[in-house]
A = this chain, B = another copy of it.
């Protein structure tokens, strides 16, 4: 039986989801791939739990929920945090789930590069380093001959990167058009169905926990623009960064505009488009009943190909266990290649 020791950096919703997903699936992975998966360290922003023999996944989640920090993990709680965690214990793969930062991509960037240099594989849900420095990060992975997987960075549980690379590998990709942000889709769907104003709908979405207290990243299209850059680089080979995307958010959409659209059989959706000629996130009219007529927090993407025509995927764009499932699928694909 081989072992795969992972460090989970970032222990918010996604990091906790990774721990839960590993807890749920480690027996399946043992049976199917003959690999024993162990979390040897998990870290939040200021503390960690570290044990070379493996931590209890459920106890990690319970400790974080009860005490707010992992240093309270029985016996193995620690005040070590940040980059130092990667020096504190032997590991094989970094599961990087810190919050996205599109100013300087930290701490994801430093964590990822440090893991690469140590010859470790990395699976990430983070968009910051990919949106700002895609080429640099990917070429560092190649230079160090390690695996680097980032399916969870776009669309949460909606497979789009591996989907396009693996299941459409015979096809040339012309464009990808989709709804890549669940929060704005929820707000726009409610504005359309209820005729309510942007401000009121945003407030209600915040109360429901669907929109963040500071909703800027979602409603101004920043989150969708990051994903647009990641798709452009990874699937269309376009060497772009965040500043190359033409971005407009949804905060100026009025209920009057919604009404006008509806009367003509249209909806307003925040649409991301990736092609050789266009990197754009903007509100657009879409036909009622079309593939883009998607409600709630779902994400969707239509991949336009040369051989297979249009192929679309729809899935949950966020969620703790859902996003973690994409990271675990990435980890399994590494196990298949390396173990």
Q: Which A residues lie at the B interface, using CB under 8 A?
A: 21, 24-25, 28, 151, 157-159, 162-163, 166-172, 289, 291, 293, 305-316, 319, 321-322, 324-326, 328-329, 331-333
Contacts and interface: CB of A to CB of B under 8 A. Distances in A.
A315 B314 CA distance: 12
A118 to B, nearest CB: 25
Contacts of A151: 167
A28 B237 CA distance: 14
Given A21-B307, A308-B316, A167 B171 contact: no
28 contacts: A24-B306, A151-B167, A157-B308, A157-B309, A159-B311, A168-B325, A169-B332, A170-B326, A170-B331, A171-B329, A289-B289, A307-B324, A307-B328, A308-B316, A308-B322, A308-B326, A309-B315, A309-B319, A310-B315, A311-B314, A311-B315, A311-B316, A312-B312, A312-B313, A312-B314, A313-B313, A313-B314, A314-B314
A167 B310 contact: no
A169 B309 contact: no
B162 A329 contact: no
Given A289-B289, A289-B293, A311 B158 contact: yes
In the A-B complex, list the 4 residue pairs whose CB atoms are closest, starting with the nearest.
A307-B325, A170-B328, A159-B167, A157-B308
Given A162-B166, A163-B163, A311-B315, 19 more contacts: A25-B170, A28-B172, A157-B307, A159-B167, A163-B167, A168-B325, A170-B328, A305-B325, A307-B324, A308-B315, A309-B315, A309-B316, A309-B322, A310-B316, A311-B313, A311-B314, A311-B316, A312-B314, A314-B314
Contacts of A28: 172
Nearest to A329: B170
Given A162-B166, A166-B167, A170-B332, A325 B313 contact: no
Contact of A325 (B25, B162, B171, B325): B171
B157 A167 contact: no
A264 B166 CA distance: 41
A159 B170 contact: no
A265 to B, nearest CB: 13
A163 to B, nearest CB: 5
Contacts of A333: 166, 169
A110 to B, nearest CB: 27
A170 B325 contact: yes
B170 A163 contact: no
Contact of A322 (B163, B289, B307, B329): B307
B168 A159 contact: yes
Nearest to A300: B312
Nearest to A166: B166
A159 B324 CA distance: 23
A24 B162 contact: no
